Amino acid sequence: MKDSVFKILSNEKIAKNTYECILEGDISDVKAPGQFVNIKLDGFYLRRPISVCDAEDGKLTIIYKVVGEGTEAMAKAAVGDEWLTLTGLGNGYDTSPSGDYPLLIGGGAGVPPMYMLCKKLIFEGKHPTVILGFNTKDEVFYKEKFTNLGAKVIVATADGSVGVKGFVTNVMPSCEYTYFYTCGPEPMLKAVYEVSVTSGQLSFEERMGCGFGACMGCSCKTKYGNKRICRDGPVLTKEEIIW
């Protein structure tokens, strides 16, 4: 964990209410895909926890959806603005149990961490399939980015405006996989958990106070005892989850 200043290199809208922001700064503490950063914004007391989409060559990419006052302020930030940012938060995904054919399932604002994960799995010589779930065509992002990494990509939209009509869980049964990784809204995580035929890792979201394990604001119960989503998570294994 490290607290340092990041400078905005770009902050562009890439889909409906969805922004991609590339920042320059010290990324040495970003150790695993699925970790998050916690950003201090002027005028807001608590920081904003945002998952890491990519971290390479001194650049940090985050993708966020405008859902409230904080993310609205982020969307208005200009190139050159600086954010004090805690990096290296959370456990992140463990790629060691993935097998050769991992399945990655991202839903909406849960898509970004799948990107760095996909990149790492491909670097390790594995052959990931990626299912990207959105409500509608206007919300779709990063399809080409995943394809360019060399992954097999399937897009599903709830209204069928692009890709397969339905939820990510409608696509899952047609995929063969050795392990799964997912991030998205909790109802989707639960559905993925139920449909999945292998072990896997699920990334959870919760309102946080600190983001580094001090305040116990984001605790959850697991089969292996109480865990803090921010510190012991956000990634939990399928085996330990209690719904």
Residues that bind another protein (CB under 8 A): 1, 3, 40, 44-47, 70, 86, 206-210, 212-221, 226, 231
**Identity of the residue, 168 or 210, whose beta carbon is nearer to another protein in the bound complex:** 210
Can you tell me the distance from the alpha carbon of 229 to that of 226, in angstroms, rounded to the nearest whole number? Answer: 10
Q: Please, which residues have CB within 8 angstroms of residue 133's CB and are 6 or more apart in sequence?
A: 105, 106, 107, 108, 155, 156, 157, 158, 167, 168, 184, 188
Strand 200-203 versus strand 179-183 pairing type = parallel
Can you tell me the distance from the alpha carbon of 50 to that of 52, in angstroms, rounded to the nearest whole number? Answer: 7
**Identity of the residue, 154 or 202, whose beta carbon is nearer to another protein in the bound complex:** 202
Which amino acid, one-letter code, is at 75?
Answer: A
Least Å distance, CB 164 to another protein, is 30
**Identity of the residue, 198 or 219, whose beta carbon is nearer to another protein in the bound complex:** 219
Least Å distance, CB 12 to another protein, is 26
Least Å distance, CB 45 to another protein, is 6
**Identity of the residue, 120 or 227, whose beta carbon is nearer to another protein in the bound complex:** 227
Least Å distance, CB 217 to another protein, is 4
- Other Cβ atoms less than 10 A from the Cβ of 17: the count is 16
